[in-house]
Amino acid sequence: MKPKQFVICGAIVLLAACASYDGRGLVPGQSTANDVQALMGAPAERLTVSNGDTVLYYPRGPAGMHTFAVHMSSSGVVQSIDQLLTVENQQKLVPGVTTTGQVREQFGPPGRISRLDRQQRDVWEYRMFGPSQEPYNLYVQISHDGVVREVLFLKDYNREPGGEGKG
């Protein structure tokens, strides 16, 4: 393969990857599970929700700044495609009320799970963009009974110009 052909092939592959990033091209009410898989690949997680529908989760972007959820009807047809890591979703978390299952359904799989042994809590971490599209970290602390106990939404200063972890 000549260098010019190699560059063209590489550009085509990159464009194809971008086209499938957010499910653009899927048609709610028409696209099927096979269409989703062909366009977006295998989901990171599948969750059956209370009404029998299925949600397919696709964490995307640099360091997981987006997670797309493809909502499928019980008959296997796309109902909607949503970007879950939003400030609006973060504001729906209610300490003492929201459950682990609700967090999982609302945000998809966490980017990282850590443990606070003294408080006997798991911490689910999500990277996302804040109100002005600056990077934030969302930390959801969950107690042993599966209830959210604390929610921290902190600006990621390491990603600021001049910060230690420029990225």
pLDDT tens digits for range 84-107: 999 999 999 999 999 999 999 999
DSSP type of residue 159: G
All domains of the chain in start order, with CATH: 1-83 (3.30.1450.10), 84-167 (3.30.1450.10)
Q: Please, are residues 90 and 148 in contact by the beta-carbon 8 Å criterion? A: no
Q: Please, are residues 32 and 76 in contact by the beta-carbon 8 Å criterion? A: yes
| pTM recorded for the entire structure | 0.79
pLDDT tens digits for range 1-47: 565 555 454 444 444 444 467 888 899 999 999 999 999 999 999 99
